[in-house]
Structure 1
């Protein structure tokens, strides 16, 4: 049975344009507009004076054509703020109604989907940013993520789900997409098959996913996706939005009951229409030019003599002009494209040594240390649901750490979420912060809960341990004190933490007391 991705027709676009105009004229409430606009990948920002739009990028893959369109849109609509998300999408911010509608309409011609970018829909399907190029990977999973995205998009106009559904693929134990604790994760194995995990997730009441099946042939992934959707439709919570994610079905059914329900839906899916997929992996045939390069932002690909360059804009918020700058650099480079990572990093892949040097030159404004590559959600200055401004906290912390002149290895990447939703993935960071409040003399003060010792590596998954709540203004000083303690030991942060967990908690205690 052929499935088609819903297209945004002129009538529907005009309806969206009118609804958006009505919202800004005060004719539609904030909640009603949010419930409507999410389907189109757009939301009004905090304050209700401007909008954002979310551009889906299956597997984080950003081709030259898509890059050019985004760069041209940024220039045409004078976009001043962009954000790389932890779901491998690109958000453009501070847009008026004409910009939102114009970008949305033009995106379709370049294979960029905004539909389903918000609301109760399947979200952007994720894959490791270096899939197909990474040394030591089990196999290239990006083609399967692309097939999964096409399949899930065909359900946008089908029966409404209780809430969003996140599907992802992993190509190695690095588990950068968190495949073992998403709604549905396909984990590649050395034998060319997938293990399948389900009903995990971060945020409120987080859970590591359940292993549902082992050694699944990749051709059968769509049956497992259909089963996931069907069990969510039947057992998901339509009444309580806060409980309407797949992980809560395990509370309702019990782990064994959930697994049984899933396997029943899987059997029904396999007895239905033919959903087998056939994938021809794209082989990178590009030849090296003999130039050797190295550095902290250089990765050698499994293709001999080819490289990837990583670029991490602070807070995942690049200068919007970088999209045009990068396009100008790579326009005539064979097989080169960008990949968005779940940690808000951009990878430019399939570069010769000479090309890598040019890309390095064009991306010098990014993070220079692990700490500067910290992950932060867009924060409450923009997000309606945000509690605290993650971006301003990170900016203040980076400034303090730079002024303290700490060694690059003294602090790890930290993860900052402005609210319990964990868009900044704070629950799996070595150090994580979650926005909240702290009462002082009966006054609610801006604060963040701090947690330690999280890990997302496959087989070592561990949710962070809460260690209390710090005032937002105290966090930069806390990080500097930890960094100085680590620097004095002569160790890297990872090595120091293994032997000094009690010391870390002791330092944190001074700021949470």
Structure 2
């Protein structure tokens, strides 16, 4: 099968529906629920209060090439955008947009190979990929070409039957599993032999579940058959009546368990093959999605010795890691970065599912320049903590996860905690797990605690989660903690770990009940 070419003209007319609905919403002729049912399908939602909008740019594999980077920079400047967020689904969200801006940017994006269609709503979502695929030293193979082909194919399904809820597809190139491919709606995990294992019906949030291993050793050229089978399985067995149970992970229970689900998926797979539709992919295994063009890019200079500079598998070339606090870069970042890299051959940005950006394919000299240009980001692993956009913006949010993270970073800086004393934490403003709180060493999800009939801002603490393939584990719920007490809890934890002379990971292994004992006085 030839991959579907992205053609903006195939989608432009559909945005008239979005513009009409947005106009009615801002005129108060359409209520928030009805508007959400339309706008979500175009990657946009009204923010809390209904006076502004957000727009999610669909970026397959989290790739931001120079054209896309310039487009984002120009939009920030032209529409005076004051808030941008890197999401845990490898997308860019533009916030605080007025009616004119949200409608204009959504259409203008088409001219720069960016589609917002299906960025929200009951559609296949942005395809996620290990951010350093193609350049990572220890990867089994470059999964990026297959992920991009999958993204193109999924776009053809957006105009088909509507799914019960969103369908998230992910690819991983190592056991690190940072895209959570083993617990997505559909995940492809690379194997050392150049094939994929396939997982299905997983997900975080309410009723979290790890995926079912539905196939092993799948040839990369066959992945589209499995995507079609997943789509058909979801359409056939997904819950269209109860939105709370309309995610693929609920199908395991409704079908009678993992084995029954595996059989149901297998039947749909057989039907896809029997249909006669040719979904074979012919992508040369030796041809990565990105490679140095002969004579165009040569190693130059020695890269600075810094933990944010990562050697690529291409000798003499580097990726530079940049993690803005909370995944929120200052809005001038995009223009500064474009001006810096526009003449750097084959340099591009890759977004990661932990709200990190990697600037890849740098020579040693270029890496030094990029390192300096991104020095205002996270200073250590704790500051690389993950937080969703939070309740000040999100309609579904209960707590302001961004504000909590900022308070915690300020506390840690005042205490002067060394790198590794506190772990990276994950904060979600509600149980939905947009901040992936369930797989963090420490995680928090927002809620309310009623004390003497007074509702108080609070978070539930999760401990000892893990997303590494074959070691996946959901964090244990330790209880509810008032928001105002969380800085004191982490301060005491940091002081205890620092006094031990160990890093948090080692201290936690040596003191398996240590976190629980320190947290106990803070738990209600």
1:21 Cα offset (Å): 1.5
Could you state the TM-score of these two structures normalised by the residue count of structure 2? 0.96
Counterpart for residue 396 of structure 1: 407
Question: Equivalent of 1:257, from 256, 260, 265?
Answer: 260
Counterpart check, 1:293 vs 2:304: yes
C-alpha offsets along residues 426-462 of structure 1, whole Å, 9 cap, x if unaligned? 0000000011111211111100000100000011000
Counterpart for residue 212 of structure 1: 214
Contact persistence 1:22–1:28 (CA under 8 A): yes
Counterpart for residue 37 of structure 1: 39
Contact persistence 2:311–2:318 (CA under 8 A): yes
Distance (Å, rounded) in 2 between the aligned partners of 1:122 and 1:85 = 16
Secondary structure of the 2:151 match is helix
Within 5 A, what are the aligned runs for 1:149-164?
149-164=151-166
Could you state the TM-score of these two structures normalised by the residue count of structure 1? 0.98
Counterpart for residue 390 of structure 2: 379
1:10 Cα offset (Å): 5.2
Contact persistence 1:6–1:156 (CA under 8 A): no
Counterpart for residue 271 of structure 2: 268
1:354 Cα offset (Å): 0.5
How many residue pairs get matched?
A: 513
1:16 Cα offset (Å): 2.0
Distance (Å, rounded) in 2 between the aligned partners of 1:510 and 1:191 = 50
Contact persistence 1:5–1:154 (CA under 8 A): no
Distance (Å, rounded) in 2 between the aligned partners of 1:451 and 1:136 = 31
Counterpart check, 1:277 vs 2:281: yes
C-alpha offsets along residues 321-350 of structure 1, whole Å, 9 cap, x if unaligned? 101110011000011000000000000000
1:5 Cα offset (Å): 6.0
Distance (Å, rounded) in 1 between the aligned partners of 2:405 and 2:303 = 35
Counterpart for residue 65 of structure 1: 67
Question: Equivalent of 2:432, from 421, 425, 434?
Answer: 421
Distance (Å, rounded) in 1 between the aligned partners of 2:314 and 2:128 = 23
Distance (Å, rounded) in 1 between the aligned partners of 2:455 and 2:510 = 36
Give unmatched runs, 5+ long, in structure 2. none
Secondary structure of the 1:350 match is strand
Distance (Å, rounded) in 1 between the aligned partners of 2:303 and 2:279 = 45
Within 5 A, what are the aligned runs for 1:433-512?
433-512=444-523
Distance (Å, rounded) in 1 between the aligned partners of 2:136 and 2:474 = 26
C-alpha offsets along residues 458-499 of structure 1, whole Å, 9 cap, x if unaligned? 110000000001001111111111011000000011100111
1:11 Cα offset (Å): 4.5
1:283 Cα offset (Å): 2.4
Distance (Å, rounded) in 1 between the aligned partners of 2:301 and 2:120 = 45
Counterpart for residue 200 of structure 1: 202
Distance (Å, rounded) in 2 between the aligned partners of 1:15 and 1:451 = 42
Contact persistence 1:4–1:154 (CA under 8 A): no
Distance (Å, rounded) in 2 between the aligned partners of 1:11 and 1:202 = 35
C-alpha offsets along residues 258-309 of structure 1, whole Å, 9 cap, x if unaligned? 1111000001111220101122423235321142322121111111111100
Contact persistence 1:6–1:154 (CA under 8 A): no
Distance (Å, rounded) in 2 between the aligned partners of 1:468 and 1:260 = 38
Distance (Å, rounded) in 2 between the aligned partners of 1:156 and 1:276 = 20
Counterpart for residue 119 of structure 2: 117
Contact persistence 2:303–2:368 (CA under 8 A): no
Contact persistence 2:6–2:113 (CA under 8 A): no
Give unmatched runs, 5+ long, in structure 1. none
1:406 Cα offset (Å): 1.0
Give me the CA root mean square deviation: 1.2
Distance (Å, rounded) in 2 between the aligned partners of 1:501 and 1:209 = 27
Secondary structure of the 1:470 match is strand
Counterpart for residue 17 of structure 2: 15
Secondary structure of the 1:380 match is coil
Contact persistence 2:439–2:473 (CA under 8 A): yes
Counterpart for residue 333 of structure 1: 344
Change (3 A) 1:139 1:266: same
Secondary structure of the 1:501 match is coil
1:62 Cα offset (Å): 0.7
1:193 Cα offset (Å): 0.4
- Which runs of structure 1 show a deviation greater than 3 angstroms over 4 or more consecutive aligned residues? 1-12
Distance (Å, rounded) in 1 between the aligned partners of 2:432 and 2:12 = 34
Secondary structure of the 2:128 match is coil
Distance (Å, rounded) in 1 between the aligned partners of 2:463 and 2:435 = 14
